[in-house]
Structure 1
C-alpha cells in the first residue's frame, strides 16, 4: 500500500509517517504534486554467526601477569575504596 503526502503536511506528521513506514507501508513525499522521495523501512542487518577462531588474525595475546602484580607503590586500603 502506498500513500502520497506533500512535504508541508509531512513536516507536522513526521513521527506518524515514520511509524507507518516502519510497519511496512510505503510513504511517498511529493513537492508541487510530483513525487520527490519515498519513506520505506530499513531492512534489519543480516545476523552473522560468530565463528570460532575469528580473532586468530590478531596473534598471541600479551602476558598480563606483570600488570596484575602489586609492586608496593600502591597498596589499596579501605579508605581508597570508600572515597
Structure 2
C-alpha cells in the first residue's frame, strides 16, 4: 500500500482550488486566512514540516467510499459549513 503524505494532500487541494478559480493563483497567505490558520502553519503543512494527523484520517475515510458516496458526504459538509 502506497502512503500519501499530508503535504501531498494539501498541495493537491491547493492546486485544485486554483484550478476551480480558472487557474488564478492563490497565495499561501490567502489560503491560510480562508482556512483560519496562520500562514506559517499552512506553509509547514504544504512543505511536510508539520503533519496534521486528522487530515490523513479524513482522507483515508473518504478513500473507503465510492465516488457517489464521497460526493454525497462533501455536499453534506458544504451545507453544514455554509459553503455554496
Which TM-score applies when normalising by structure 2? 0.20
Structure with higher strand content: 1
Which TM-score applies when normalising by structure 1? 0.20
Q: Larger RCO: Structure 1 or Structure 2 (Cα < 8 Å, ≥ 6 residues apart)?
A: 2
Structure with larger Rg: 1
